[in-house]
Amino acid sequence: MMPRRRAFTIVELLVVIAIIAILAALLFPVFLRAKEAATKVVCFSNMRQLGMAVSMYADAHSGGQANLNRSSPAIRRRATTRGS
């Protein structure tokens, strides 16, 4: 005769599911903090690149600052030529 295989009971399965749910609940805040930290790093990197771009522009244009005012003639001229 073949030995009979013992299957998991419903109680054992529910206990395992409960343990997994508890572990997931404990780890969720950790993953959330890690995601927030990664977002801060990306933001810091973007700000650093913007600062470097402004600095490089100023070096290339004899210390002049970029004029990003929408009412400046250069931007109006570019906006009108694109629309044509």
For the chain, the structural domain boundaries read 10-83
18-72 pLDDT, tens digit per residue, is: 999 999 999 999 999 999 999 999 999 999 999 999 888 888 887 777 666 666 6
pTM equals 0.52
Residue type, 54: V
Distance CA 35, CA 65 (A): 35
10-29 pLDDT, tens digit per residue, is: 999 999 999 999 999 999 99
Q: What is the DSSP string of the chain?
A: -PPPPPPPPHHHHHHHHHHHHHHHHHHHHHHHHHHHHHHHHHHHHHHHHHHHHHHHHHHHTTTPPP---TTSHHHHHHHHHHH-
* Higher local confidence (pLDDT), 53 or 82: 53
